[in-house]
Amino acid sequence: MTFSVAQAVSALSLLPLPAKIRNPKPRTIVTRRRNPFVPFSSKVEERGVTFETGDSFFRCESATGRDLGILAAALHRRSLGGSLRVLDAMCGCGVRSLRYLVQAEADFVWANDACDGYRRLITSNLTSVVSRLSSGGERRWVVTHCDANRLLTERYLQRDHFDLIDVDSFGSDSSFIGSAISAVKAGGLLYITSTDGFSSGGHRPQHSLSSYGAYVRPMPYSNEVGLRVLIGGALRESAASGFLVYPLFSYYSYHGPVFRVMLQVCRGHLQDNSNYGFISYCNKCGHSQTFHWAELGQITCSCCNGMVCHSMVLSGPLWTGPLHDTSFVSEMLTLARDWGWACKSKKCFDLEKLLNQMVDESEPRLPPGYIKLDEIARRAKINTPPASAIITALKEQGYAACRSHIIPNAIKTDCPISSCMSTARELQGERSINHLQMPV
């Protein structure tokens, strides 16, 4: 499908600009109904914005991923002094484009989806809420139907760079990462996705090697590995053209599964201390380690007494640094509270909890991976310790420790698993004594 700006502009019409949503509603409501353009459709309300999904690929479960993208976009717009151009490369029914326009107050959104059958759906969704032209006669949005790679490359060749590029792709198609990096402004944001849980689980290492340049082996924290492989793949691509990427937030969702990362693209070159290396897991003792490239060839586990360690598996290269930027996710939390999307009460606690966990996970001392509480219990031959108790005990010993947003019954910590086991044993001992001392 070819595209020209003239075609996009020719479709412009003047419609009144609707009132802005000042206090987006914190719920998603879905109503099935007939749409005049498509055989069957759902009318969906997401954070106060209403749209039709038609026969496009749309998942209500991805609403949190969209919330996070919108919050990041709004913060980025603020940091730029109030101007934001977004390219939504795989827009489906156009829900993100709509939300970037209305909630993040993007000045311009380029909504693209390869499927030209979605055209009426996308334009109808956008026109029903946002006029195509601003009051000053500037285009607010265009809709095209190109292959994402072609569109991104065309924009790069036209020197038409964007503040935020969102590529909501399926599987582990990474072919667009390089073209997206070339079309984003220096300092801009890139929101990318993978839905390939099979590769992150280490079940087809050649596949992850082709997509992200990382050989992935089975590890107990494979869903965090999936996020790190995605960031690492983008880092490798960006380094080839003199850029580096840093994760502002990383989000795993079990619906799919879906791995999403919001990256900031900055000029730079890989250094020896770049967080791009290898992680290991020892199946014998459960110890995880991080290795730099210079340490390749000297990798072993302390339980193997310096000998070749057949119980160890190594994955990488991948991102070994923090999953999130502390100040950015803290600002996202503040903004989500301001908008009524996050709060301590039940109705909006999910996003509050998620963003708080992301703030905790962003602690720079925390190494890659998490330790499942069941693994501590199995290795220490005790009952599974309560997460809150072991986190408190580890912090009292000076370790960094928190819950993981990826899995509920696991902890992230810089404490070696052997010390986690002894701490858990002590906790169990204390609990037994307390139990014995309970008055009958």
CA–CA separation, 384 and 410 (whole Å): 11
Contact between 46 and ligand SAM per CB under 6 A? no
Query: Residue 394 has which token pair?
Result: 């580890």
Helices (H), strands (E): how many in the chain? 14, 16
Q: Which of residues 159-198 bind ligand SAM (CB under 6 A)?
A: 168, 170
Contact between 371 and ligand SAM per CB under 6 A? no
Q: Is 251 helix (H, G, I), strand (E, B) or coil?
A: strand
Contact between 148 and ligand SAM per CB under 6 A? yes
Determine which residue in the list 51, 58, 243, 328 makes contact with ligand SAM, applying CB under 6 A.
Answer: 58
Query: Residue 19 has which token pair?
Result: 């009132």
Determine which residue in the list 15, 115, 343, 377 makes contact with ligand SAM, applying CB under 6 A.
Answer: 115
Query: Residue 202 has which token pair?
Result: 């280490």
In the complex with ligand SAM, the residue whose CB is nearer, 55 or 105, is 55
Spell out the long-range contacts of 56-60 with Cβ–Cβ below 8 A and sequence spacing 24 or more. 56/92, 56/93, 56/113, 56/115, 56/118, 56/121, 57/92, 58/92, 58/93, 58/95, 59/255, 60/28, 60/30
Would you call the peptide bond into 317 cis, given omega within 30 degrees of 0 as the criterion? yes
DSSP assignment, residue 215? B
In the complex with ligand SAM, the residue whose CB is nearer, 52 or 168, is 168
State the maximum Cα–Cα separation within the chain, in Å, rounded to a whole number: 83
Determine which residue in the list 46, 52, 67, 113 makes contact with ligand SAM, applying CB under 6 A.
Answer: 113
Place of tokens 């101007």: 83
Determine which residue in the list 56, 64, 179, 288 makes contact with ligand SAM, applying CB under 6 A.
Answer: 56
In the complex with ligand SAM, the residue whose CB is nearer, 172 or 423, is 172
Contact between 256 and ligand SAM per CB under 6 A? no
Contact yes or no for 97/104 (Cβ under 8 A): no
* Nearest distance, CB of residue 265 and ligand SAM, angstroms: 20
The residue range among 40-48, 55-63, 203-211, 259-267 that interacts with ligand SAM, by the rule CB under 6 A, is 55-63
Contact yes or no for 84/97 (Cβ under 8 A): no
The residue range among 58-66, 181-189, 349-357, 423-431 that interacts with ligand SAM, by the rule CB under 6 A, is 58-66
Contact between 291 and ligand SAM per CB under 6 A? no
Determine which residue in the list 45, 105, 147, 352 makes contact with ligand SAM, applying CB under 6 A.
Answer: 147
In the complex with ligand SAM, the residue whose CB is nearer, 57 or 215, is 57
Q: Which of residues 83-112 bind ligand SAM (CB under 6 A)?
A: 90-92, 95-96
Ramachandran category for residue 82: left, alpha or beta (phi over 0 → left; psi -120 to 50 → alpha) = left
* Phi and psi angles of residue 317, each rounded to the nearest 5 degrees, phi first: -75, 150
Provide the β-strand partners of residue 250. 261
Contact between 119 and ligand SAM per CB under 6 A? no
Q: Which of residues 301-360 bind ligand SAM (CB under 6 A)?
A: none
CA–CA separation, 94 and 425 (whole Å): 53
Please report, as ranges, the residues that interact with ligand SAM according to CB under 6 A.
56-58, 62, 66, 90-92, 95-96, 113-115, 147-148, 168, 170
